[in-house]
Amino acid sequence: MKKKWLVILFSLFVVCAVFVIPSMLPAAKKAPETIKVSAVLSLTGPFAPLATQAKNAYQIYFEKVNAEGGIFIKEFNKKIPVEIKILDDESDGLKTILQLEVANEWGAVANLGGIGCTSFEVGTVVAQKNKMVWLGPGCAGWTPHQRGINYMFSTFFKTPFISPLVYNMIMSMPEPRPKKVAIFEINQLDCEEAVEYWRKGAEKKGFEIVYHQKYALGTKDFSAMITGAKAAGAEILLGYPAPPEGPAMIKQMKELDYNPKLIYWIRAPEASSFGPALGPLADYVCVPVAWSNQLAISGNDQLNAQHQKVHGKLGDPITGSAYAAGQVLVDAVKRAGILDRKAIRDTIAKTDTETVAGRIHFSPQGWAVDRLVLVLQWKDGKQNIVYYNEAGQNYKKNIPKVDLKWQPPWSSR
């Protein structure tokens, strides 16, 4: 009898274990078919030549990630492919807001942003509201990182570090060196910041600002500014032109026979259209960048090869910064092990990883600390590395540097 009851009790236990207990436990979470990532970029409008570089980089990188099966997510114990939705904000900050809301409704776990403070700064507010990472090259603007926004991360350099760099570069050259500076200031926040540091740097390093003029985005006639800088004897021209304005300025400078020894411009000379639009007229123009296709850092051979295969040329400067942003995001999602926006944000904040653009480590405000900065100089349709900052010492063997050249008179070119 006792044996019979033991059999009955055991049978009841088996029934409970198989049917009752599982029904009382929460159902296992089903893995999504894809990891949704959005990218709001200025694919049309004045910043399109820069944002297109970012789009190309994101597409190349996530094709690589998906070819390897996707990102391993510990929560589901499997790799899941990435689905990227690219949205155009048309270089309009208000449309950046609308597109970020589209990405939020779509269910993106994070957003890879584009380039330029016009959209990137505006997007930070929406990213914060929706608790969704806003990660990308971003912009050189320093102010957006001082506003308590903790969902924004930029793999780019910032104005306090790139603006004074021009003076260090000039002082690395043998005497005689140019000393008189002209500034063409576009009426935008990041340029306003750059001007502040250009002024401080000039005072500290013994340079003289002899001409300074502001202008509005969309200006087409720069003759008065050019004539003013020429009359003041400015040998160094600093500026922050939008991509369409850079070629126009250069052409008008040639027409008015103004040839400073050094043109150091942020932004416009990074655009893939700058060299082709100007041909030999682009020669000698310098631009600070966060990546070059000449960098011999791990991963760049593959990036350049794929970019050449798909687009018929090597990557432009923004390409590497955007690719690095993708690397940071994938690394963080994998380390987080869960597709939760806050967990991904918290993991990105602890990033300390090597990318195709060098080491990326963020400050509590979301800007990249000790960022590698290069200065490129256009010559014969190519952007040569002519200078790098202190962080570049860590990559000295990976940087094929050539000598900086002063711009000769137009008549001898």
170 φ/ψ angles, rounded to the nearest 5 degrees: -60, -40
- Tokens 């159902």 — which residue? 27
Find residue 360's DSSP bridge partners: 353
Rounded (5°) CA angle 222-263-311: 95
Angstrom distances, CA of residue 51 to CA of 61, 116, 272: 15, 8, 10
Mean pLDDT of 53-80: 97
pLDDT of residue 244: 87
Average pLDDT, the chain: 91
Nearest-angstrom CA–CA distance, 235 and 246: 18
Strand partners of residue 153: 135
Question: What CATH number belongs to 35-158+295-361?
Answer: 3.40.50.2300
Strands (E), 89-189: 110-112, 133-136, 152-154, 180-186
Starting from the edge strand earliest in sequence, which strands make up the sheet with 82-88, in order? 82-88, 35-41, 110-112, 133-136, 152-154
User: Does the pTM of the predicted model rise above 0.85?
Assistant: yes
pLDDT value, residue 116:
75
**Is the pLDDT confidence value at 11 over 60?**
no
Identify the CA nearest to 286 among candidates 136, 169, 199: 169
Query: Residue 187, class by beta-carbon neighbours within 10 Å (0-12 exposed, 13-18 middle, 19+ buried)?
Result: exposed
pLDDT band at 18 (very low <50, low <70, confident <90, very high): very low
Task: Give yes or no for a contact between 105 and 82, defined as CB atoms under 8 angstroms apart.
Answer: no
> What amino acid occupies position 165?
L
- Neighbour count for residue 14 (Cβ, 10 Å): 10
Q: Which pLDDT value is given to residue 108? A: 97
So what's the architecture of 161-289+373-412 in CATH? Answer: 3-Layer(aba) Sandwich (3.40)
pLDDT confidence band for 22 (50 / 70 / 90)? very low
Give the span between the Cα atoms of 140 and 193, in whole angstroms. 9
Which pLDDT score is estimated for 120? 77
Residue 18 · residue 12 · CB < 8 Å: no
pLDDT tens, position by position, 235-259: 999 999 988 899 999 999 999 999 9
Structural domain spans, the chain: 35-158+295-361, 161-289+373-412
Pure H helices in 25-92: 48-67
| Dist CA 80 CA 68 (whole Å) | 10
Compare 113 and 337 and report the one with higher pLDDT: 337
Q: Look up residue 401 and give its two tokens.
A: 């540097």
> Ranked by mean pLDDT, which of 112-121, 183-192, 215-224 comes out on top?
215-224
For the residues 258-269, what does the mean pLDDT come to? 95
How many Å apart are CA 307 and CA 336, to the nearest integer?
Answer: 30
Is the pLDDT confidence value at 26 over 90?
A: no
pLDDT score, position 28: 57
User: For residue 254, what are its two tokens?
Assistant: 């040639």
Mean pLDDT in residue range 61-88: 97
With residue 85 as reference, give the H or E element that holds it: strand 82-88
The residue-averaged pLDDT of 160-186 equals 95
Structure tokens at 319: 């390409």
For residues 206-245, one letter each, b for 16 or more C-beta atoms within 10 angstroms of the residue's C-beta and e for the rest, the string is ebebbbbeebeeebeebeebbebbbebebbbbbbbbbbbb
Instruction: Give the model confidence (pLDDT) of 300-320 as tens digits.
Output: 999 999 999 999 999 999 999
| Topology match between the domains 35-158+295-361 and 161-289+373-412 | yes
Asked if 137 and 156 count as a contact pair (C-beta separation under 8 A), the reply is yes
* Per-residue model confidence as pLDDT tens digits over 102-159: 999 999 999 998 787 777 778 888 989 999 999 999 888 888 888 888 999 999 888 8
Each residue of 374-388: pLDDT tens digit?
Answer: 999 999 989 999 999
Residue with tokens 């044996």: 3
Average pLDDT in the 197-215 region? 96
pLDDT interval class at 190 (50, 70, 90):
confident
Q: Which two tokens stand for residue 163?
A: 């603006």
